[in-house]
Amino acid sequence: MTRKVYKGSGADFISAVCLVLFGAAFTIAALRMRVFNNSLLVSPGLFPLILGGVFILLGLLLLRSAAKRGGWYEASHVLGREHLHTFFTSPRVRKGTILLLMIVAYVATLGYVPFVWSTAGYLLVTFLYLKAMKLHWILLVSFLAAYAITFAFRDLFRIPMP
């Protein structure tokens, strides 16, 4: 069976479904908020309640538009096992994910390892992954940059550091 679908409609379809679900959750959270002076007019939940409704409405509008463009079919194709495998093994996505994971690891170490060491480690690993320079330059630039940043902000400008 073949159908006419348009590029991007699958992403729109998925984001529209997420938006409707988010809107519903937001509405429920707003309804659970306390009502002051028996009046909803000034109560903290009023504006979030309206926002929840707006999200559902905008989500449905986007869903309708995406569905008309074959969004459901593209979404089910995109979320299929084969496509997901291709997606996650594409060099672009893999690079973005690895870079993001490096940042997460860097941020996670900040509370436990001194800033200068965690920064040097992060720079070293990132430069190595990106093949930015030759190894001896990577080592030199990583430690020099980490030290220079720490010195400039902590000692020169007296900025609080993690």
Partner 1 sequence: MEILHLLADEAVQVGTSLLGSLNPTILGLIFGGSLLGLLVGSIPGLTATMALALLINLSYGMPLENAVAFLLAVYIGAVSGGLNAAIMINIPGTPSAAATCLDGFPLAKQGKGGLAIGTGLIASFVGTFFSIMVMVFLSPLVYKIALRFGHWELFLLALFGIMICGTLSAGKDPLKGWIVGFLGFAAAMVGMEQIFAYPRLTFDFLQLKGGIPLIPALIGVFGVSEFLAVLQENVAYKIDGRVGKVIPPMKEFIPLIPSAVRSGIIGVVIGAIPGAGEDIGSWLSYDVGKRRSKQGHKFGTGSYEGLICSEVANNAVIGGAMIPLLTLAVPGSPPSAMFLAAVWLHGVRPGPMLNFENPGFLPLVAALLILGSFAMLFWGLTLAKPMVAILKIKREILLPIIMPLTVIGAYAGGVRIFDVYLMLAFGVLGYVLRQMDYPLAPLVLGLILGPLADTSFRRALQQSRGAIMPLLERPIGLLLLLCIAWLIWTGVKRARQYYAEQAALADGEELSVE
Residues 17-76 that bind partner 1 (CB under 8 A): 19, 26, 29, 33-34, 36, 39, 41-48, 51, 54-55, 58-59, 61-62, 65, 68-70, 73-74, 76
The most distant pair of C-alpha atoms in the chain lies apart, rounded to whole Å, by: 70
Q: Minimal distance in Å, beta carbon 155 to partner 1?
A: 13
Q: Minimal distance in Å, beta carbon 11 to partner 1?
A: 5
Identify the residue among 132, 135, 140, 151 touching partner 1 (CB under 8 A): 132
Residue 115 in tokens = 């800033």
Rounded Cα distance between 149 and 8, Å, is: 42
- Residue 49 backbone class (left: φ over 0; alpha: ψ -120 to 50; beta: rest): alpha
Rounded Cα distance between 15 and 46, Å, is: 25
Rounded Cα distance between 153 and 162, Å, is: 11
Residue 25 in tokens = 């959750």
Phi and psi at 10, nearest 5°, equal: -65, -45
Identify the residue among 85, 95, 114, 135 touching partner 1 (CB under 8 A): 95
Q: Minimal distance in Å, beta carbon 80 to partner 1?
A: 9
Query: Hey, what amino acid is at 160?
Result: P
Q: Minimal distance in Å, beta carbon 116 to partner 1?
A: 10
Q: With contacts defined by CB under 8 A, how many residues of the chain interact with partner 1?
A: 73
Q: Minimal distance in Å, beta carbon 106 to partner 1?
A: 7
Residue 161 in tokens = 């550091």
Identify the residue among 38, 81, 136, 157 touching partner 1 (CB under 8 A): 157
- 89 in contact with partner 1 (CB under 8 A): no
- 100 in contact with partner 1 (CB under 8 A): yes
